[in-house]
Amino acid sequence: MMPSYASALLISDLHLTPSMPLTAQRFFDFCEKDAPKVQAVFILGDLFEYWVGDDAALHSPFQQEVRRALATLSTKVKVFYIHGNRDFLLGQDFLNKTGMTALADPSKISVADAEYVICHGDSLCTADVGYQVFRAWTRKVWAQKLFLKLPLRWRRSIANHLRSNSTAQYQRMTPASAQTKTNVTLAACAAVLRDQSGVNLIHGHTHLSAHHHETFQNQEWQRWVLSDWDLDHPESGRPRASALLIDANGARFADLIKNSGSL
């Protein structure tokens, strides 16, 4: 059954980690003050900087704090989760302890009598062929089971190595090449909307927050791109923390820096 609510907040790409305490605190404030004002919250992936298995959370006070915040929020509103490219190994044990409900990527939801197709967004970046091959392999159940059998320290080492390689590859790209390879393609957006019979698309992953009106061949649609969150690195640009608020007044971005607790 399609999730259907009168109001919702959608967030993604918080990349929570103990090394970003200001961003983490804004998330805790979001769970306490902002999120309870709507009927449902949808987290579209990359809530954590990386996730190497639910068992790792047992050894992380920080991840336990996030779990408690989500569990408390789930007693007030319905919380849904779509896996991202950084936390696709987040498993059923953690979902059960937080009260979150996992959704397939992509999924269709209904908010305030309007339908939206939601996904993390990495599957739409089809110009990056190498990444799509990597993504297909890492989503195989048998590959995930093998990885999760490795000692925890090995898994963490592999995750850090992959993150370092990804950063290095991005830095070697020209700005034009990076923009093309790391952004979604119109063809991929059109395809997922055809498959889901939708005309409204919401995703994260690219960190290019915007509202687009787009066409491809004989299709037209609207696309909302969610912001990443970063309040800890002012040197990288303007601090970022926003959500997409959908209610009877439509869909619009809510600045969670300027409007803390006052949606």
Question: Is it true that the peptide bond before 36 is cis, omega within 30 degrees of 0?
Answer: no
Buried b (16+ CB within 10 A) or exposed e, 99-126: bbeebebbbbbebbeeebbbbbbbbbbe
DSSP annotation of 237 reads S
Predicted confidence at residue 165, as pLDDT, reads: 78
Q: With H, G, I as helix, E, B as strand and everything else as coil, classify residue 4.
A: strand
Strand order in the sheet with 78-81: 101-102, 78-81, 40-43, 8-11, 242-247, 250-255
Tokens representing 100 are: 């979150």
Question: d(Cα 35, Cα 217) in Å, to the nearest integer?
Answer: 38
Q: What is the pLDDT of residues 97-134, one digit of tens each?
A: 999 999 999 999 999 999 999 999 999 999 999 999 99
CB 102 within 8 A of CB 81: yes
Q: How many CB atoms lie within 10 A of CB 128?
A: 17
Predicted confidence at residue 178, as pLDDT, reads: 53
Predicted confidence at residue 117, as pLDDT, reads: 98
CB 63 within 8 A of CB 24: no
- Give me the residues of the chain with pLDDT under 50, please: none
Task: Tell me the C-alpha to C-alpha distance, in Å, between residue 147 and each of 61, 137, 139, 155, 215.
Answer: 23, 12, 11, 7, 41
Predicted confidence at residue 180, as pLDDT, reads: 60
Predicted confidence at residue 162, as pLDDT, reads: 86
Predicted confidence at residue 39, as pLDDT, reads: 98
| Structural domains of the chain in order of their starting residue, each with its CATH number | 4-255 (3.60.21.10)
Predicted confidence at residue 233, as pLDDT, reads: 86
CB 10 within 8 A of CB 44: yes
